Amino acid sequence: MILIVAGVSGSGKTTVGAMLAARLGWRFADADEFHLAANIEKMRAGIPLTDDDRWPWLRAIGAWMDERIARNESAVITCSALKGDSIADLWSNILKHRDRLTASGELAGRRGEQQVKWMWTMLEERLFAPLRSDRTVKAELPKIEAEVSAGRLAPAAAVEKIAAMLDR
């Protein structure tokens, strides 16, 4: 998975992105590191970059993202807020990533795991003790988790189903 933290200059995206990557144990990159030296000099001189200036930068970011994807590495990258064709180019890389995950089946697997995690975080701590000791609930939990993981049951509906078993 690749997370993109976008914002205008000085908004704190590098700080947030670096902290997020450290917290998750993921690779981190600041998109400014991908600028050509000539672009850095222009920015230092206060000269705005043109779309032509940005294309090599966007391609470098895309290549870095492609490399992470190919290595199955999760990462956080910061990026200036973009507009127009720049967003379209970056979005194209995101869609390629999604298509690869879909084709491999990894996206469906991740979504299933995520749904089960959401189900459990929605259950309040006070419900855990009865869950662990109730035989009926214990017997039904694997079935409920399988339904949530397969997308046949929403996490919120699973929580309601489990709570109803405890209310009987």
- 70 and 98 both lie in a single domain: yes
Strand order in the sheet with 75-80: 2-7, 75-80, 27-30
Q: From 104, 120, 141, give the residue that closes a domain.
A: 104
Query: What pLDDT does 131 receive?
Result: 66
Residue 4: name the closest of 166, 26, 160 by CA: 26
85 and 17 housed in the same domain: yes
CATH classification of the domain holding 63? 3.40.50.300
The phi-psi region of residue 110 (left if phi > 0; otherwise alpha if psi is between -120 and 50; otherwise beta) is alpha
Do both 20 and 70 map to the same domain?
Answer: yes
Give the domain extent around 147: 108-167
Q: 97 and 153: one domain?
A: no
Residue 86 has pLDDT above 70, yes or no: no
Q: Please check whether residues 35 and 92 belong to one and the same domain.
A: yes
Share of the chain above pLDDT 90, in %: 5
- Considering the entire predicted model, what is its pTM? 0.51
Query: What pairs with residue 147 in β-bridges?
Result: none
Question: Please, how many CA atoms are within 13 Å of residue 40, restricted to the half-sphere of its CB?
Answer: 7
Q: When comparing pLDDT for 51 and 144, which is higher? A: 144
20-68: pLDDT as tens digits:
888 888 899 998 888 899 988 888 888 888 878 888 888 888 889 888 8
pLDDT at residue 83 tops 70: no
List the structure tokens of 13.
């995206």
**Mean pLDDT estimate for the chain:** 78
